[in-house]
Structure 1
Amino acid sequence: MKDVTQLTEGWSLRHGEDVLEATVPGCVHTDLLTAGAIPDPFLGRNETEVAWVGRRAWTYVRHLGHDSAHERTDLVFDGLDTAAYITLGGRPVGTTRNMHRRYRFDVTGRTGELEVRFASAYDEAAAVRAVTGDRPNVYPEPSQYIRKMACNFGWDWGPTLVTAGIWRPVRLEHWSTARIAQARPLVTVDEGTGRVEVRLEIERTAQGRGRALTAEARVAGVRAETRLTGDEAVLRLEVPDARLWWPRGYGDQPLYDLEVTLGDEDGPLDTWHRRIGFRTVELDRSADEHGTGFTLVVNGTRVFARGVNWIPDDAFPSRVTPERYRTRLTQAAEANIDLVRVWGGGIYEDDAFYDACDELGLMVWQDFLFACSAYPEEQPLRGEVEAEARDNVVRLMPHPSLVLWNGNNENLWGFRDWGWEPELAGDSWGEGYYLGLLPRIVAELDPTRPYTAGSPWSGSWDHHPNDPAHGTHHSWEVWNRQDYAEYRASVPRFVAEFGWQAPPALTTLRRALPGEELAPDSPGMLHHQKAEDGNGKLDRGVARHFAPPGGDFDRWHYLTQLVQARAVAAGIEHWRSHWPVCAGTIVWQLNDCWPVTSWAAIDGDGRPKPLYHELRRVYADRLLTLQPGADGPVLAVVNQSAEPWRTAVSLRRMRADGTTAGETVVDVAAEPRTVVRLPVPEGLVPDARSAKEFLVADAGESPRPGEAESGDGLRALLFPVPDKEFAYPRPRFDVTLEPVPGQEDRVDVVVSAHTLVRDLLLQPDRLGAAAACDRGPQTLLPGERTRIRVRGCGAVTADDVRAALFCVDPA
C-alpha cells in the first residue's frame, strides 16, 4: 500500500544571508511576522512598510532523506505560490508558475537539500508581459500575467500584499506497481436511483506495466469491480432509493462515502475516498416575456438563490484553518444564506470549505479565476489556464454543494463597456477561455453541472453583457452614483453582485488603528478604505437620508452601518417580491480578508455588522415587505418555505407620536415558494410627502402598543419621506438587564419604548471585545419592548448598555 510522509517540519526560509525558521504550509509574510522581521501589515499603515517583500526572491530549504522500499517516490505539492524552481541535492526537479495547481515530481532514490526558490511575482509577471504584450486592467498591477490570487495585488477592499511560499501541504508519496492518478465521480439521480460513474486513471511504475490490476468502488453498501489491463477504467454503481442532497431550507444533506481501491494479486495498492451527495442541478436559461431567465433548479425544484459573494478570508490564505472556514460558513447558514459564490479574483478554496458547504447545505457557485482584467490567451498562460482548470474541476467535482461553474468575473462586461475593445485592437483578452476552452473542459470532465461564461453575462453577444433582462446582472450604479431606493427601479433576472459599504465594528477599528484618534478621514481610516471615493460615497449615502453627523465619529459610524443594512435590504426585499422573474441575489460580500471599510457583512476580525442581521431577516423563508409602486404601496408576502403560509396581516397608518390613524387586517394565503402582492387600501396610504405618518405591516406575533415584548412576528415599514424630513420625536426608552438562567456568559437587554424608536441598534463590541448579540436594527412603537440577547460581554450595567445603543435621533 502507498505510504505518505508529510513534509511540515524542518523548513527554513532564506533571503541572502538571512535564514529564518519557516512554517509549511505558510508564506513569506507569515514567517517574517513570526520572526519579528516585519510589522503586522494589517495594522495602521504598515502595509506600505512591507511592500518590498513581494518584490524579492525567496528560498525554502529542508533536508530530504529517503528510506522507502517502494519502487517510486513522488514529491507532491498541493500549492506553490507561484513561480518556483525546485532542486534536490543540487539537481533540478522542476519548475512551476501557477498558484492554483497541484504538482507531482518523481524523486525516486534522491536525497539531499531540497530547495524551492520563488521568484518575485512581479518579475515573473513582467517576463510574461514582455512575451504577450500589454492588456488593460482595472487596477495598476500585473495580476493578469501570472496565475496567482489576483487580489494579492490589491483590490478596492484588499491590501497589496504579494505573497510567495509553500501555501498548501507538501508530502512524499511512496508507491509500487500502480497508483490512482485521478478519480472522477459523475453523480446523477434517475427516478430515485442514485447513479455513480467513477472514471479512473492509473499511473504505473516500470515494473507495473502490463500487470493485471483490479479496481473496486463502494458506496452505500453497493459494490462494483473491474479488472484493468490498461491505465483507464470505469466503475458504475446504482444506489436504489438514494436520499437526495438539498440546499439548506429545501431538505436534508445526506452524504455518502465513496471509496475506490486499486489492487493486484498481492493486495491493495492505493485508495481514494470522497463524500458525495445525490442530486440533480440544472440552470434554466429559457427565454420568456421578460427576457432570458437564470434560475437554478435542484432536484427539479426551482430555487430563488439567497446568496453572498465570498473572497479569500485572509490576505494570507494559508492562515485559514478548517475551523475558520466552518465558523464563517456557519455564520452564513445562520443568516439564511443558501448560496456562496467563490469570486474569480481569489482562489479555489481548500476542500475544507466545500466539505462545510456540503454539510451545511450551502450551494457553491465557483468562478474560474479571472477578474476585472483582459487576459492574454497566448503561451505560457494558455497551457497554465487549461492545466489549472482541469486540475480544479477534477478536485472539486465530488462535492454536491458545487452547483455552477462560472467563466469569469466582469471581463465580458469590461470588454464591452470599459474601453478595452479599442485598446486591445484585436489582441486576445480571454474570450477564448470563457466561450471556448472552459466550457469544453467542463463538458468533458464534469457534464453533471451547468457552466456559464461569466458574471455578468446575458447569454450571448446578442444582448449587452450586463443587461438586467437577460441572465446575470451586476448592480453597481446605485452604490456609485444613486440613492439605494433606485434598486427598486428594475427587476433583473438574477442579481449576482450588488452592495453598499460600511466601516467595521469599532473594536475592529481600534485594534487595526492603535493609538489613532478615529475620524472618517483620519490617516489610518483612509488607508483602510480602498474604494475609489469610498468615503465620499458613504457620506452621500448618509446625506440623502440624515443630517450630516459633523464631527461625531460614533454617529457617523452608526449611520454608515445603518445605511449599508438598509440599502442591501431594500434591494433584496424588492427583488424577492418579484420572484420568479428575479431568481436570485448574491450580496457583495460576506467576508473580509483584513480590517477595512468595505461591503462585507462580517468584518475582517469576524464581527458581524448590522448588515449581517438584516441578511438573516430578509433572507428568511418568510418575508413581509412594503414596496412603493406607481399606483401606491404594495404589500408583498414572500413564502419561500415548503409549507403554505396563511397569516393575518395587520396594516396600520401610524402617526409619529405613536397613535393610529387607520388600520385593517388582511388575510393572506401564500402557497409554498410563491409571492403574494396586494395593494395597500387607499385609506391607509400616508400622503406621499407626509412628515408625520408612516405605514406599518405586522404578521404573526409582532408587538402592538401596550403589549408585551415582541415574539417571532414579521414587520414591514414604509416612511414616505427621508429620515431627515420626518418629524421623529426625541427617542425615549428604558433599559433593563435580565440574567439568562443557567448561562452566566449571557444577559438579556430589555428595551422598553415610550416613543417611536427607529432602527434601535446595539453595538455589542462596545460592551466587550468578544461580545455578540442576536439582533440588528429594530423599530419599536410606543409601548413595545424588545429583548436582545448578548453573550460574552462580562459584567455590564444598564448605563454601559445605553452607551452602546444607537437609534435615529432628530437632535
Structure 2
Amino acid sequence: MKHTQDLGGTWNLRGIGVDLPAAVPGCVHTDLLAAGRIPDPFLDDNELAVAWVGRQDWTYSRDLTWDGPECDRVDLVFEGLDTVARIELDGTVVGSTRNMHRAYRFDITALLSAGSAGPAGSQSAGVGGSRALSVHFTSAYTEAERVRDLLGDRPNAYPEPFQFIRKMAASFGWDWGPTLVTAGIWRPVRLEGWSTARLATVRPLGTYDRESGKLDLTADVERTRDRALRARVLIDDREIAVLDIPAGETGVRTELDVPGVTPWNPIGYGDPQLYMLTVVLTAVDDDTELDRYQQLTGFRTVHIDRSPDETGTRFVVHVNDQPVLVKGVNWIPDDIFPSRMTRERYELRLRQAADAGVNLIRVWGGGLYEDRAFYELCDELGLLVWQDFLFACACYPEEEPIRSEVVAEARDNVTRLSPHPSLITWNGNNENLWLYEASGWNNEPGGDLTWGPGYYLDLLPAVVAELDPTRPYQAGSPWSGSWEHEPNSPDHQTMHSWEVWNREDYLNYRDTTPRFVAEFGWQAPPAWTTLRDAVSDEPLLPDSPGVLHHQKAEDGNGKLARGLEPHFPAPASTEAWHYLTQLNQVRAVRTGIEHWRSHWPHTGGTIVWQLNDLWPVTSWAAIDGAGRFKPLYFALRSVYAGRGLTIQPRDGGHVVAVLNDHASPWTGELRIEHRDAGGAVLAVSVTPVTTAARSVALTPIDEVEAAFVVATLGDARAFHFIGDPTPDAGLTVTAEVVPGGLDVRLHATGLARDILLQPDRIHPEAVVDQGFVTLLPGESTVLHVRAPVDLDAASIKSPWVVTDLASALQGNL
C-alpha cells in the first residue's frame, strides 16, 4: 500500500537580509507579510514598495525524515512550485523545475537510504536520519529575461516578460491587477513511499449515450518490480471491471459500458449526478493492494454546434443532446497570491456565481489551471467549465526551452482535469490569434518571430485529441474557426466585444448580434468600503493618486467619464461618481445581455468579463477584491434568471422579448403599460402569451407617446425609458431591527428610479439582498440587511446609505 507523509507546515525562508519562518504551501510575499517585513501591497501604492521581492532569489528549507515503513521507493512530490526551482537534499541536486503549472515527482530513495542502517545492498528506504531539504528559487524575472534574450523579444499587451516563462501571467500585472511577481512552494508537498507498482495516472472519460454511461479508462502504472498486476474498477462500490496488467506492461486502456447511471446535467437541466470512481491496483500473486485511486466523476456528452448557417457559423453548446443557453462569467484567479485560496473560499465564490444564475465559468488564460477543489465544486453545483490553456495577450515563442514545457504542462493538466464532468471545452488561448494582426504585433519588432499559432492550431488540439477526445477543442477566444474569416468576426463562432467600453457607448451593443459573446464588460469602482480601505487619500477623489493607482486600465477613468456623459450630468461629488459609475456598469451589462439573449439561439450565450477580482481595484468585476457584491452582481441574477422580460428595439419599433430558459412553456398574460414622467398610466394592453421551452417570443408594443413603458408577466417586469425622467421619488425609507440585522422598507409616492442601499456604509460586514431597485408610484419593497453584529436602525439615514437616482443627480443627500 502507498504511504504518504505531508511536508506542509513551517519551513524556513532565506533571502538577502531575510531569515524567517515560512508557511508551506505559501509564497514569499505572504511569508514576508506575516513577519511584518513588507507593507500591505493592497494599500495605496505599496505595490511599488514591494516590487523588489519579485526580483530576488529565495530559498525554502526544512529537515526531512521518512517516518513511514520500508518501501521500494520514496518519492518527493511537489504539486506546485512557483516557478524556477532547484531542489536539493543534503546538498545533492534532486531536480529542477521551470513551470508553475505542473506537478513534479523526484525519486529520493537512494539519498534517504545513504548512511542508514539496513540489509547489505538494500535499495529500499526505511526510517533513517534527518536530511536537509532545500528548494532554491530563481527570480521569475531572471528566467523570463534570460529566455527573452535567448529567443528574441516579442510583442505583448503589457510591458512585462510574462510570455517567456510558464507562470501565472497575471502575476506580472494586468489591466485589473497589480504586479506582484511571486515565488514559493504554492501547492502541497509530500513524501510518497510505495513498493512493486503505483498508479501513475488514471484518466477517466465519462460520457452518456441516451440510456447508459460509457467510461473510457486509462490507467498508467510505474513499477519497481516486474510482477503481474490487476486493476479493479468500481462505481459507487459496484465492481464494473477487472483489468489485467501483465508483467512488463506499463498500463491499460479500456472502454466500459456503465448501465444504470443517471447523466450529469448543468444547472437548470437536471441534477449534476456524480459517482465515486475507484481503481484498486493489486498484485496478482498475493492480491496485495498496492495503490488506490478515488475521484467523483460523472457521465455526460458535450459538443459545440459550429456548423454553418445562412448568416455565418453557429456556436451553441449542447450537453446530453440539449442546447444550452450559456449564461457565463469569466474567472480570474481569486487572489493575486493563489496559495491563499482554500476550498471554503472557492465554494463561497462559486456558490455566489450559481446563485446569480450563472451556468458557465470560463477559466481565463492569463491565470491558472485551478485547484482540484475548484473543479470538484463545479461538478457538484452543475456549473459548466470552459478551460483556457494558459496563453494570453502576447506572442509566445514556439522554440525550446518553452515548447517542451508547454507539451508537458498540457499533458499534465488534460490528464488531471479529465475526471470532471463540469469541464466541457478546452480553449487554446486568450486573444492571441486575434490581436496578432488587430493590434499590429505582426509589424512590431519581434513580430516576425514565432508567436504561438503552432501551439493553438497544431500542438494543443493534438494533445486533446489523444488524451481527451470527449471534449471539444477551440483554437482560441475569440476565434472564427479558420483564417478565412477575421478572428473576432461577429458572424462566426466566438467574439470579444471591446469596442464598446474602450471607444463606444454601451447602447452600441445593440448594433451586432454575434454568434457567441465570450468577453464583454464595463468598469465600475469597488464597494465604497473596499475603496476606502485600500486608498488613504484625503480628500478621496476619482482622480486622486491612490484611486488612480487602483485603476489599472489604460485611460480607465477617462473611459468611465466618457461612458457617463451620454446618460448623466457630471457627478457633483466623489460619492455621486461612485454611485453613477456603479449604475452605468449595471445598465451597460444589462443592455448587452438582454439584447443578445433576445436573439437566442442565433447568439448562443454570453460570458461577462468578469466575476471576481484579486485585489481592491476599479474593474469590470461583479464581486470586488474584498468579496463584496457590486450592484452588477444583483443585475446578473436578474438578467441570467431562467425567465425574464426585456424591451428591445426591432424594425423601427419596440417589442417585449419573453425569455424562457425553462424546460416547460411559459404561459400568462403580458401587461404593457405606457406611463408619463410622473408614473401615471396613459395606456394599457393585455395579451395572452405562450413561450415555448428554451425559447424567446416577441410581442410588438403599440407606439404611444409616453415617458416610459412597463411590461409585466407574472413576477417578471421590464422597463423602457423613452426619455430619462427623474422626478421627485417621494421616497420614504424606514428600518426595523430584526434578528441578524435590519429590514429596510422603501415606499415611493412618485417614480423612484434606481434606489441603491449600500450595506457596507452601515457596517463593513453587512450585506443586502438586492441591488438597484425601481419603484412605481405607490409601490413598496423590503430590503434585507444582515450583519454579524447588531445594527442601528438610524444608520440608514446616513448620507449615501440609501440613494435614488433623482437624489444623486440633484445632490439631495
Give the corresponding residue for 2:89.
88
Q: Paired residue for 2:742, among 730, 747, 750?
A: 747
Pick the aligned partner of 1:698 from 673, 688, 712. Answer: 712
Partner of 1:40: 40
Specify the code of the residue in structure 1 equivalent to 2:590: A
TM-aligned CA deviation for residue 390 of structure 1: 0.2
1:196 pairs, out of 205, 210, 215, with: 215
* Sequence identity percentage: 58
Aligned pairs for 1:680-719 (under 5 A) are 680-682=701-703, 684=704, 686=706, 693-700=707-714, 713-719=715-721
Residue 690 of structure 1: aligned partner: none
Q: Please list the CA deviations of residues 414-461 of structure 1 after superposition, one character each: whole Å capped at 9, or x if unmatched.
A: 112111123345421000000000000000000010000000000000
Instruction: Give the Cα separation in 1 of the matches to 2:743 and 2:662.
Output: 30
1:709 matched to which residue of 2?
A: none
Say whether residues 1:525 and 2:554 are aligned partners.
no
- Matches of 1:403 and 1:52, distance apart in 2: 40
For 1:262, the aligned partner's letter is L
Cα 1:406–1:581 shift into 2, 3 Å = same
Deviation by residue 1:57-96 (Cα, 9 ceiling, x = unmatched) = 0000111123440010000000000011111111111110
1:31 aligns with 2:28: no
- Any conservation in 2 of the 1:632–1:685 contact (CA below 8 Å)? no
Residue by residue over 1:164-220, the C-alpha shift from the partner in whole angstroms, topping out at 9 and shown as x without a partner, is: 000000000000000001111121112311111211111001xx12x1111111014
The residue aligned with 2:118 is none
Report the Cα offset of residue 284 of structure 1: 0.5
Which amino acid letter does the alignment assign opposite residue 25 of structure 1? P
SS at match of 2:23: coil
| SS of residue matched to 2:24 | coil
Matches within 5 A, 1:534-613: 534-550=556-572, 552-613=573-634
1:18 CA drift (Å): 2.7
- Residue in 2 that maps onto 1:382: 403
In the alignment, the residues of structure 1 paired with residue 458 and residue 653 of structure 2 have an alpha-carbon distance, to the nearest angstrom, of: 48
**Letter paired with 2:15:** H
Quote the offset at 1:731 in angstroms: 2.2
Q: From the superposition, tell whether residues 286 and 801 of structure 1 become closer, same or farther in structure 2 (CA, over 3 Å).
A: farther
Which whole-Å deviations, capped at 9, do the CAs of 1:353-408 have from their partners, x for residues lacking one?
Answer: 01110011110000000000000000000000000000000000100000010000
Given candidates 291, 299, 307, the residue that maps to 1:286 is 307
Report if the CA contact (8 A) 2:736-2:793 is conserved: no
Q: SS at the partner of 1:164?
A: coil
* Residue equivalent to 1:789: 784
Residue among 731, 734, 741 paired with 2:732: 734
SS at match of 1:312: coil
Write the mapping of 1:61-80 to structure 2, written as runs, cut at 5 A.
61-67=61-67, 68-80=69-81
Q: Show the 5 A alignment for 1:306-345.
A: 306-345=327-366
C-alpha offsets along residues 294-331 of structure 1, whole Å, 9 cap, x if unaligned? 11000000011000000000000000110000000000
The CA deviation at 1:796 is 2.1
Find the residue that maps to 2:9 and give its secondary structure.
coil
Q: Which SS does the other structure have where 2:54 is aligned?
A: helix
Per-residue CA distance 1:201-248 (angstroms, 9 max, x = gap): 11001xx12x11111110142421122121111244322131111110
- Taking the aligned partners of 1:114 and 1:33, their CA distance within structure 2 comes to 24
- 5+ residue gaps, structure 2, are 113-130
Per-residue Cα deviation, 1:644-683 (whole angstroms, up to 9, x for no partner):
101211111101122111111121110100000121123x
Could you say which residue in structure 2 is the equivalent of 1:806?
A: 803
TM-score by length of 1: 0.95
8 A contact 1:416–1:465 mirrored in 2: no
1:106 aligns with 2:107: yes
Alpha-carbon RMSD across the aligned residues, in angstroms, is: 1.3
Instruction: Please give the residue correspondences for 1:259-658 in structure 2 after superposition, counting only pairs within 5 Å.
Output: 259-264=278-283, 265-266=285-286, 267-423=288-444, 424=446, 426-514=448-536, 516-550=538-572, 552-658=573-679
1:219 corresponds to which of 227, 235, 250: 235
CA distance in 2, matches of 1:798, 1:88: 64
Aligned-partner Cα distance in 1 for 2:397–2:718: 50
Contact 2:678 2:727 in 1 (8 A): yes
Question: Structure 1: 5+ residue runs without aligned partners?
Answer: 687-692, 701-712
Moved over 4 A (4+): none
TM-score scaled by structure 2? Answer: 0.95
Measured in 2, the distance between the counterparts of 1:12 and 1:582 equals: 54
CA distance in 1, matches of 2:495, 2:301: 25
Whole-angstrom CA distance in 2 between matches of 1:476 and 1:464: 15
Question: Counterpart amino acid of 2:785?
Answer: V
Does the aligned pair in 2 maintain the 1:10–1:63 contact within 8 Å?
Answer: no
CA distance in 1, matches of 2:686, 2:692: 19
Partner SS, residue 499 of structure 1: coil
What secondary structure does 2:455 align onto? helix
What whole-Å deviation, never above 9, does each CA across 1:738-758 have from its counterpart, x for those lacking one? Answer: 355xxx103221101011111
- Partner SS for 1:464: coil
CA offset at residue 115 of structure 1? 1.0
Checking the alignment, whether the CA contact within 8 Å between 2:155 and 2:447 is kept in structure 1 is: no
Q: Report the 3-state secondary structure (helix = DSSP H, G, I; strand = E; otherwise coil) of the residue aligned with 1:347.
A: coil
Residue 653 of structure 2 aligns to a residue whose secondary structure is: coil
In structure 1, how many angstroms separate the alpha carbons of the residues matched to 2:270 and 2:184? 42
Note the alpha carbon deviations across 1:508-551, whole angstroms, 9 max, x for none: 1121124643210111101000001100111111121111113x
The CA distance in 2 between the partners of 1:514 and 1:326, in whole Å, is 32
Shift of 1:44: 1.2
CA distance in 1 between partners of 2:521 and 2:33 (Å): 33
The reply on whether 1:116 has 2:135 as its aligned counterpart is: yes
Report the 3-state secondary structure (helix = DSSP H, G, I; strand = E; otherwise coil) of the residue aligned with 1:218: strand
Q: Distance in 2 between matches of 1:605 and 1:791?
A: 17
Q: Does the 8 A contact of 2:154 with 2:447 survive in 1?
A: no
- Contact 1:516/1:524 (<8 A) preserved: no
Number of aligned positions between the proteins: 781
